[in-house]
A and B are shown apart, each in its own frame.
Chain A
Amino acid sequence: KQEVTQIPAALSVPEGENLVLNCSFTDSAIYNLQWFRQDPGKGLTSLLLIQSSQREQTSGRLNASLDKSSGRSTLYIAASQPGDSATYLCAGNQGAQKLVFGQGTRLTINP
Chain B
Amino acid sequence: DGGITQSPKYLFRKEGQNVTLSCEQNLNHDAMYWYRQDPGQGLRLIYYSQIVNDFQKGDIAEGYSVSREKKESFPLTVTSAQKNPTAFYLCASFWGDYTFGSGTRLTVV
A and B are partners in one complex rather than unrelated chains: yes
The residues of A with any CB-CB pair to B shorter than 8 Å are: 4, 6, 9, 34, 36, 41-46, 49, 89, 91, 96-104
| Contact between chains at A46 and B43 (CB < 8 Å) | no
Give the distance in Å from the alpha carbon of A49 to the alpha carbon of B41 in the complex. 21
The interface residues of chain A lying within 8 Å CB-to-CB of B97 are 46, 49
Q: Which residue of A lies closest to B41 (CB)?
A: A103
| Contact between chains at B42 and A34 (CB < 8 Å) | no
Q: Which residue of A lies closest to B94 (CB)?
A: A97
| Contact between chains at B43 and A41 (CB < 8 Å) | no
| Contact between chains at B42 and A102 (CB < 8 Å) | yes
The interface residues of chain B lying within 8 Å CB-to-CB of A6 are 42
| Contact between chains at B40 and A103 (CB < 8 Å) | yes
Q: Decide if B85 is an interface residue (CB 8 Å cutoff).
A: no
| Contact between chains at A98 and B48 (CB < 8 Å) | yes
Closest 8 CB pairs of A and B: A101-B42, A43-B100, A44-B100, A101-B43, A43-B102, A97-B94, A103-B42, A43-B103
| Contact between chains at B48 and A89 (CB < 8 Å) | no
Q: Which residue of B lies closest to A94 (CB)?
A: B45
| Contact between chains at B42 and A41 (CB < 8 Å) | no
Q: Which of A4, A49, A97, A98 contacts B42 (CB 8 A)?
A: A4
The interface residues of chain B lying within 8 Å CB-to-CB of A104 are 40-42
A-contact bits for B24-63, CB 8 A (1 contact / 0 none): 0000000101010000111111001010000010100000
The interface residues of chain A lying within 8 Å CB-to-CB of B58 are 98
Q: Decide if B101 is an interface residue (CB 8 Å cutoff).
A: yes
Q: Given that A98-B58, A99-B43, A104-B42 are known contacts, is A43 also in contact with B101, CB under 8 Å in the complex?
A: yes
Q: Show 8 A/B contacts (Cβ-Cβ < 8 Å), sorted by A.
A: A42-B102, A43-B103, A44-B43, A91-B42, A99-B35, A100-B45, A101-B43, A103-B41
